[in-house]
Amino acid sequence: MVTYDPADHYERLAKNYDDTWSHRPDYVGWMNQRVFDRLQIEPGDHVADIGAGTGLFLRSLVRHVTEDNPIVCIDPSRSMLNQLPDDPRLHPVCASAEAVAAGEVGLPYDWLDAIVIKETIHHFTNIPKTLFGLAERLAPGGRLLVVTLPRRPQYPLFTAALDRFAEHQPEPDDIASAMRDAGLDVTLDYDAFTVRVNADHYAHLVTRRWMSVLSTFDDEQLAEGLEEMRTRNVSGELTFPDRFAFVFGKRT
* Phi, psi for 72 (deg, rounded to 5): -85, 115
Report which of 92, 106, 104 is spatially closest to residue 51, judged by C-alpha positions: 92
Distance between CA 179 and CA 247 in Å, rounded? 9
- pTM score: 0.91
Distance between CA 221 and CA 161 in Å, rounded? 10
Summarised one tens digit per residue, pLDDT across range 1-41 is: 665 555 555 555 555 655 666 556 788 899 999 999 999 99
Q: Which domains does the chain have, with CATH numbers?
A: 6-250 (3.40.50.150)
Summarised one tens digit per residue, pLDDT across range 114-156 is: 999 999 999 999 999 999 999 999 999 999 999 999 999 999 9
Average pLDDT score, the chain: 91
pLDDT, average across residues 93-105: 96
Question: What pLDDT is stored for residue 236 in this prediction?
Answer: 84
Distances (CA, A) of 45 to 25, 187, 214, 246: 27, 21, 37, 21
